[in-house]
Amino acid sequence: MDANTIIADIKNRKLHPVYLLHGEEPYYIDLVSDYIEGRLLDDAQKGFDQTVFYGKDTDFSTIVNAAKRYPMMSDYQVIIVKEAQHLKWKDDALLLAYLENPMKSTVLVLAHKYAKFDKRKKLYKVAEKAGIVLESAKIYEDKVAPWIMAFVKNESRQIHPQAAAMMAEYLGNDLSKVVNELEKLMLNE
């Protein structure tokens, strides 16, 4: 499943209790987690039913305790763990127990950036059964120009193939940087 399909499902309120977003390319991880954070609940509901943790500043017991709460003002309790790669994954027994029987009223998002999650771990397999797993692979240098063309076309704009090639050569394969520059250009158009 790709990021656009996941976002389309969320728009249609087809939600899953767990989203494990991992990989070397942070753009798609941020795209999905930011969409969930910004659009799943309205502003009044966010104060009660949305919690954002950072991997460096939290542990699994805090995450699981928050995930086991019932929502107060909406249908869902949203828990987002940004920078999940900084969690101490050796102590993941609590999270594993939660993922084996997640609450249907909770949406737990684990954003594990800059590295692939170990697919041999039991936690990965349980997360796959409990919800959605998105692997965001690094894009190769030769695929950036066509990616730029597709992105611009998706925004109902046009770009000359040589301009896309020049941007790809100048910016490299960091999609967040590429999108940032493209949005600046589209803003000035």
Give residue-wise pLDDT tens across range 41-97: 999 999 999 999 999 999 999 999 999 999 999 999 999 999 999 998 877 889 999
Tokens of 80: 């987002």
Report the C-alpha gap between 48 and 189 in whole angstroms.
40
Give the predicted TM-score (pTM) of the model: 0.91
Q: What is the pLDDT of residue 90?
A: 79
Q: Are 116 and 24 in contact (CB under 8 A)?
A: yes
Q: Are 80 and 111 in contact (CB under 8 A)?
A: yes
Q: What is the pLDDT of residue 82?
A: 96
